Chains A and B, each alone.
Chain A
Amino acid sequence: MAAAATRLAIIVAALTAPLAARADDVLNKHRDLRRRSGDAAESEVAAPFGTRVASKLAYYTDDDGLTVVTPIVSVEQKIFDTSSITLEYDADVLSAATVDVRTSATDKFNETRHGIALSGGHKLRSIETDLGGSVSYSRENDYQSVTVGGGFSTELLQKNVTVGAGYSYVYNSVGRSHTSLDAFEDHLDIHAVNASFTQLLSKRTYLQLSGSIIVARGYQASVYRYVPIFLEGTVDPAQLSEASLLSGAVRPLERLAERLPRDRLRGAAVARLNHAFDFGMTVAGDYRFYADDWAITSHTLSVNIYQKLPAGVQLRLRNRFYIQTEADFYQVAYTVPDAETRPTLFTMDRELSAFWYDMVGVKLSLELPVPSFLERVVLDLKGDLQYTKYKDFAYLLDRTAIIVGGGLTVEL
């Protein structure tokens, strides 16, 4: 009976998802794992009006001319140990002279995006269920976005199993910088459904299986990306490069604004396994399979190793490997038989080509000594190195990126 009930709950969670999404985001903020972990953990988070303030700053730079500074500040307030509310601000301060910009012969540009999010959660103790919801708004000079979402997770079988589901909706308004909305305005609607199933396997191990279905409808191209269209016989894809395009060694018939399908159905499934060893080491690994109806499939393998060190120091080493196929309409060079014909779909987006990357990183977290009115203060510093290799993107063969960051988390 119990197994049947669990199966039914999972199917309902996966198929209906009437509540909202980003369930993992929202519910993780409420330390669902600690709650799921039973009485011992609950006593650890029993402070009725706890506050958590976290601030992070990340700096991204790569050899393709992109620099991004990303700050984030989050304040979470717990209320009566059953509810919480979180207010969050983040921004991207971006400076770009990437291959898109260079091959369009336009100037380097700077741009700032501001985002604000409000989320809340409530635990229904009588049925061991967490409810969560969030709303966020993001704005930059040519793009606005509103996201609403919500979800639930519920504990079953003496808290050995947790199932969750969520739904979110994103409304995006797309414009063009320094252009009135009358001249160009479009929209993108995104619906996402997530479901997850978590099973404790031992007092040191748990398994989580999760999945997402995302439906996107609307404008999904970049208004700034112009694709060279060549007459057949005038270009050898093997000779095509940023230098040959800019020098005029290859001459396109014309350059057209990127055109992508307006509909996209995307699906992803993740299997995650976390295990704690008895010498202070935790290994967290996950694998994601992704596919969509633009014919892109990808595999992502991620491993994080945490090691507790003396004096309140924790070390994290990690590796993330990602590989994907190209979209079915992607071509190195788009050619037409005559001056009147144009392709239906065309892109110069390297993220729609076939490529792989590997990212390695190290992070140090230090728990600082605190006065009695503070619960916990953690300082963290991290650095990541990412190398990307493009299989058939003529204008960029590879890219190396460095991401460094740090943060301070205060609990009181």
Chain B
Amino acid sequence: MAKPHHQALYSAHLKRLLPLLILILGSSPLAGCVNVRPWERAILADPCMAVVPDPEEAKLEQHLFAYREGSAGGYGDTGGGCGCN
């Protein structure tokens, strides 16, 4: 027989996300601690420092991960958009 399936919107597993969400929202105290001046940002402007250095490669890979993982989200993806399940 199938194990009990609890489909409450805020299941215990989902609640595990809470600390990380609090971390995201609570990390704003970092803001203002550091001031990198415009003329000090040449290294940060290097393409390989970008969040997504190669958008086309990233799109292909998110597609691959979408049908090779039971997870979705976090990288701007939605976990849908094709019948590759």
Contacts and interface: CB of A to CB of B under 8 A. Distances in A.
A351 B85 CA distance: 9
B12 to A, nearest CB: 8
Nearest to A2: B32
A7 B30 CA distance: 10
A261 to B, nearest CB: 6
Nearest to B79: A214
A152 to B, nearest CB: 14
Contact of A266 (B8, B68, B76, B79): B79
Interface residues of B, number: 73
Interface centre among B36, B70, B82 (most CB of A within 10 A): B70
B36 A188 contact: no
A393 to B, nearest CB: 12
Contact of A28 (B3, B30, B50, B78): B50
A41 interface: yes
Nearest to A169: B78
Interface stretch (A120-128, A237-245, A338-346): A338-346
B69 A324 contact: yes
Interface string B1-34: 1111111111101101100110111011111101
Interface residues of A, number: 137
A224 B59 CA distance: 26
A319 interface: no
Nearest to B38: A38
A295 B14 CA distance: 8
A106 to B, nearest CB: 16
A209 B41 contact: no
A136 B13 contact: no
B52 A10 contact: no
A6 B56 contact: no
Contacts of B71: 266, 268, 288, 290, 292, 296, 298, 300, 322, 324
Interface string A10-42: 110010000001111100110111101111110
A403 to B, nearest CB: 7
A293 B8 contact: yes
A103 interface: no
Contacts, number: 326
Interface string B36-73: 11111111111011111111111110011001111111
A72 B39 contact: no
B58 to A, nearest CB: 8
A345 B3 CA distance: 9
A97 interface: no
A362 interface: no
A398 interface: no
Contacts of B5: 261, 294, 328-329, 344-345
Contacts of B51: 24, 28, 32-33, 198, 208, 272, 274
Contact of B67 (A14, A156, A195, A351): A351
Interface centre among B10, B50, B75 (most CB of A within 10 A): B75
Interface string A304-339: 001000000010100000101001110100111100
A216 B45 contact: no
Interface in A226-281: 261, 263, 265-272, 274, 276
B23 A214 contact: no
Nearest to A166: B76
24 contacts: A10-B24, A25-B55, A28-B50, A33-B51, A113-B84, A143-B82, A160-B32, A190-B80, A192-B73, A203-B36, A261-B5, A265-B11, A266-B73, A269-B17, A269-B74, A289-B20, A290-B72, A293-B14, A328-B3, A328-B5, A335-B1, A351-B68, A380-B54, A407-B56
Interface of A: 2-3, 6-7, 10-11, 14, 21-25, 28-29, 31-34, 36-41, 44, 54-56, 58, 60, 70, 72, 74, 88, 90, 92, 94, 113, 115, 136, 138, 140, 142-143, 145, 147, 156-161, 166, 168, 170, 172, 174, 188, 190, 192, 194-195, 197-204, 206-214, 216, 220-222, 261, 263, 265-272, 274, 276, 282, 284, 288-298, 300, 306, 314, 316, 322, 324, 327-329, 331, 334-337, 343-346, 349, 351-352, 357, 380, 382, 386, 388, 403, 405, 407
3 nearest CB pairs, A to B: A143-B83, A24-B76, A38-B38
Interface of B: 1-11, 13-14, 16-17, 20-21, 23-25, 27-32, 34-46, 48-60, 63-64, 67-85
